[in-house]
Amino acid sequence: MVVRPSERSSVSTQVETHEFQAEAQQLLQLMVHSIYSNKDVFLRELISNAADALDKLRLETFVDKDLQVDTSDLHVQIEVDREQRTLTVRDNGIGMSRAEVVQLIGTIAKSGTAELLAKARESQESGSAELIGQFGVGFYSSFMVADRVSLVTRRAGEDEATRWESDGSGTYTVETVQEAPQGTAVTLRLRPEEADDGLFDYSSEHKIRELVQRYSDFITWPVRMEVERSDDDGSTKREIETLNSMKALWARSRDEVSDEEYAQFYKHVSRDWRDPLEVIAVSAEGTFEYKALLFIPSHAPGDLFAEDHRQGVQLYVKRVFVMDECAALVPPYLRFVKGVVDAQDLSLNVSREILQQDRQITLMRRRLTKKVLSAVKHMMSEDHERYATFWAEFGAAFKEGILSDAENRDTILEIASFASTHDAERTTTLRQYVERMGEAQRDIYFMTGASRSIIESSPHIEAFRAKGYEVLLLTDPVDEVWVDSVAEFDGKPLRSIAKGELDLDAEEDESAEPEREQRQEEFAGLLSWMTALLEEQVKEVRLSSRLTTSPACLVSGAHEMTPTMEKLYRAMGQELPPTKRVLELNPAHALVDGLRKAHDERGDAAGLAETVELLHGSAVLAEGGELTDPARFTRLLADHLARDL
């Protein structure tokens, strides 16, 4: 460090010129050359520093009763000189002594500067467009928008003030001045506007107002600026206006805030014109303090399932805005949740990468998740109409948590509801399903499909309807996945009615076993012949206990993909090998019984083989599948119909 004395003015003492440390100088040069994509945050940093100074002064007056300072009008003042292109952020807070200026402002960081510089270089080389939000340098962010920065500060209780000044090129000066108001004033000589480089006109009232309301709207202290206003007679006048609202609803208890205020705040943070469905207030105290105000919307956004859907809640630190969509605070299956989280102990310069690994963020995420689940559970038990709205709008996304959130899986399963054959209008929970199960029923039955109507018209459901067994009708794409990861609920196995072998008769009457064995012997020849005939399409032909009115249906293996799942994979561009399934026949159907008798009499006649082909094709169509050769199927069907005329 080099110190060179000089004279500045009659009201100042000796001026010391210092050189920046090498690493600090390199970092400043990187900043000046616009590696940051979002230069707007410089004002956030300066206002945040000013608010901290006001907080410290208020605390100091409590601790030091002999400190004679005026705390009746603590505030932050923004001053603009458009002709000189300067912007000043001034506070009447605690201020700094000369020693504190040298220690806190004279160097970028007392430790970690090398690591900071390495991250900056890495981000520049990789073409990162988002350094702000990954890390920052507080006061020094001013050099992103200014070619010269000066700071004048006087500590509360002291007579002398200190001036710090630099153009960021390599040196800075420090001097003592005799007259200055208590607090700190940072003055920036603004660079020319260059919108293509993200450098806007920061002397514009409109731009300053926009930045204050975006980043500093809820800080405790008023942020003021002199603005020009027109009277009714056309004349203009200057007046002081407070730019921020200071209304942090999350800092107030629930009984102090009206529903209308919550609704207005929700519309502000979500950009939704409708009222929220649910308000969730969270307050955590102790070693790690934070407050949160979360909202469940009343309608799902159109892009809820889009890859580029914007998710996450707003993150504040001590009422200072830090991040718009902090995805680390809510799991993906709750991506529809909106709101704010205000932490007391996080850095303003926290990164998205750091957030993913931060223990405090992890604890907040767990607590907030449980709060949302608790709110949904309360809706389910206390207000079914609102719960029904929630489930209709967000149920498909919510069920993703069954797969991704092992810690809360049981809770999610308790909250989730599904369409079923029990009620054509209302959904049912798994708990309600189990309570309705008869003594003879051992499993929770379900079927997946593209829509309720397709499932209800499926041959697979016939026997269940006939015996009065309730079946869950799962039509969301995620249902195809989570059912394979959940083996049971409340000790009752979940079982697909379209997979594996079922023997519903055995569940009710074991005395029917001799009759089933006799029937198996009668159809053994037909089943063996059809299995050989359809060996390219199916892996087995067998008798079914799940059919009552349809002649046949196709069944997947217990651990195989359903046709709907195969379609989902193909829609995502993933080619799958063809899967052979089981063709089940209804022995009580006239067509199947007639086919058995004809085969016993005529063997493998050509006409019978065509009938088998039509039978298989009709089973494919019945489940909403696609025929391999639709033209041949149509021709065979027309020929058989013609022979019957």
352 known member of a binding site: yes
Beta pairing class for 171-177 and 76-81: unpaired
* CA distance linking residue 417 with residue 428, whole number of Å: 5
- For residues 279-297, give the mean pLDDT: 91
Q: Residue 77 belongs to what H/E stretch?
A: strand 76-81
pLDDT recorded at residue 349: 59
- Per-residue pLDDT tens digits for 533-554: 999 999 999 998 888 899 999 9
Q: How many CB atoms lie within 10 A of CB 30?
A: 17
Written as one letter, the residue type at 571 is A
Q: In what order do the strands lie in the sheet with 290-296?
A: 278-284, 290-296, 338-343, 313-317, 320-326
Written as one letter, the residue type at 57 is L
Residue 11 pLDDT > 60, yes or no?
Answer: no
110 known member of a binding site: yes
Residues 6+ apart with CB under 8 A from 460: 447, 497, 498, 546, 553, 555, 623
Which pLDDT band, with edges at 50, 70 and 90, does 35 fall under?
very low
Tokens 């003015």, located at residue? 9
Residue 3 pLDDT > 60, yes or no?
Answer: no
Which class does domain 512-557+578-644 fall in? mainly alpha
Between 510 and 563, residue with greater pLDDT: 563
Residue 202 in tokens: 């920061």
Written as one letter, the residue type at 632 is R
Q: Residue 612 belongs to what H/E stretch?
A: helix 606-622
Residue 634 pLDDT > 70, yes or no?
Answer: yes
Residue 113 in tokens: 């500067």
Residue 136 pLDDT > 70, yes or no?
Answer: no
Residue 146 pLDDT > 50, yes or no?
Answer: yes
Phi and psi torsions of 42, nearest 5°: -55, -40
Residue 24 pLDDT > 50, yes or no?
Answer: yes
* CA distance linking residue 500 with residue 446, whole number of Å: 13
* CA distance linking residue 227 with residue 63, whole number of Å: 37
112 known member of a binding site: yes
349 known member of a binding site: no
pLDDT recorded at residue 140: 79
SS3 content of the chain, % helix, strand, coil (to 5): 40, 20, 35
* CA distance linking residue 164 with residue 86, whole number of Å: 16
pLDDT recorded at residue 111: 38
- Per-residue pLDDT tens digits for 160-203: 999 999 888 778 899 999 889 999 999 999 999 887 777 899 99
**Among residues 199, 192, 143, 145, which one has the least CA distance to residue 172?**
143
User: Minimum mean pLDDT among 13-27, 194-208, 220-234: which range?
Assistant: 13-27
Q: Contact, 54 vs 93, CB < 8 A?
A: yes
Q: In what order do the strands lie in the sheet with 538-543?
A: 538-543, 581-585, 552-555
- Cite the beta strand spans of 178-334 per DSSP E: 183-190, 223-230, 236-242, 278-284, 290-296, 313-317, 320-326
Between 357 and 148, residue with greater pLDDT: 148
Q: Contact, 387 vs 380, CB < 8 A?
A: yes
**Total residues found in the chain within this entry:** 645
Q: How many CB atoms lie within 10 A of CB 410?
A: 13
* CA distance linking residue 611 with residue 617, whole number of Å: 10
**Among residues 115, 119, 117, which one has the least CA distance to residue 130?**
119
Between 199 and 392, residue with greater pLDDT: 392
Residue 320 pLDDT > 50, yes or no?
Answer: yes
138 known member of a binding site: yes
Q: Contact, 140 vs 31, CB < 8 A?
A: yes
* CA distance linking residue 227 with residue 212, whole number of Å: 14
3-state secondary structure of 13: strand
pLDDT recorded at residue 118: 58
Which pLDDT band, with edges at 50, 70 and 90, does 357 fall under?
low
- For residues 628-641, give the mean pLDDT: 90
91 known member of a binding site: yes
Share of the chain above pLDDT 70, in %: 86
Q: Which residues pair with 326 in a beta bridge?
A: 313
Question: What does the H/E/C string look like for 364-411?
Answer: HHHHHHHHHHHHHHHHHHHCHHHHHHHHHHHHHHHCHHHHHCHHHHHH
Q: Contact, 618 vs 634, CB < 8 A?
A: no
134 known member of a binding site: yes
111 known member of a binding site: yes
How deeply is 453 buried, as exposed, middle or buried, from its count of CB atoms within 10 A (0-12, 13-18, 19+)?
Answer: exposed
Q: How far is CA 418 from CA 97, 116, 407, 432, 459, in A?
A: 66, 51, 22, 11, 21
CATH fold of 24-242: Heat Shock Protein 90 (3.30.565)
Written as one letter, the residue type at 427 is T
Q: Contact, 223 vs 76, CB < 8 A?
A: yes
* CA distance linking residue 251 with residue 245, whole number of Å: 13
Most confident of 49-53, 264-268, 583-587: 583-587
Q: How many CB atoms lie within 10 A of CB 104?
A: 13
Which pLDDT band, with edges at 50, 70 and 90, does 8 fall under?
very low
CATH fold of 249-381: Ribosomal Protein S5; domain 2 (3.30.230)
* CA distance linking residue 265 with residue 580, whole number of Å: 56
Question: On the CB side of 217, how many CA atoms lie within 13 Å of its CA?
Answer: 14
User: Minimum mean pLDDT among 4-8, 33-37, 139-143, 322-326: which range?
Assistant: 4-8
Summary mean pLDDT of the chain: 84
Beta pairing class for 338-343 and 444-448: unpaired
Question: On the CB side of 165, how many CA atoms lie within 13 Å of its CA?
Answer: 15
Residue 487 in tokens: 């083996």
pLDDT recorded at residue 162: 94
* CA distance linking residue 90 with residue 96, whole number of Å: 13
* CA distance linking residue 254 with residue 270, whole number of Å: 20
pLDDT recorded at residue 131: 36
Which pLDDT band, with edges at 50, 70 and 90, does 5 fall under?
very low
What one-character-per-residue DSSP string does 257-274 give? S-HHHHHHHHHHHH--SS
> How is the chain split into domains, by residue range?
24-242, 249-381, 512-557+578-644
* CA distance linking residue 75 with residue 212, whole number of Å: 14
Phi and psi torsions of 527, nearest 5°: -60, -40
Residue 476 pLDDT > 50, yes or no?
Answer: yes
Between 261 and 235, residue with greater pLDDT: 261
- Per-residue pLDDT tens digits for 561-612: 777 777 776 667 777 777 788 999 999 999 999 999 999 888 777 788 999 9
pLDDT recorded at residue 13: 58
Written as one letter, the residue type at 504 is L
pLDDT recorded at residue 65: 80
136 known member of a binding site: yes
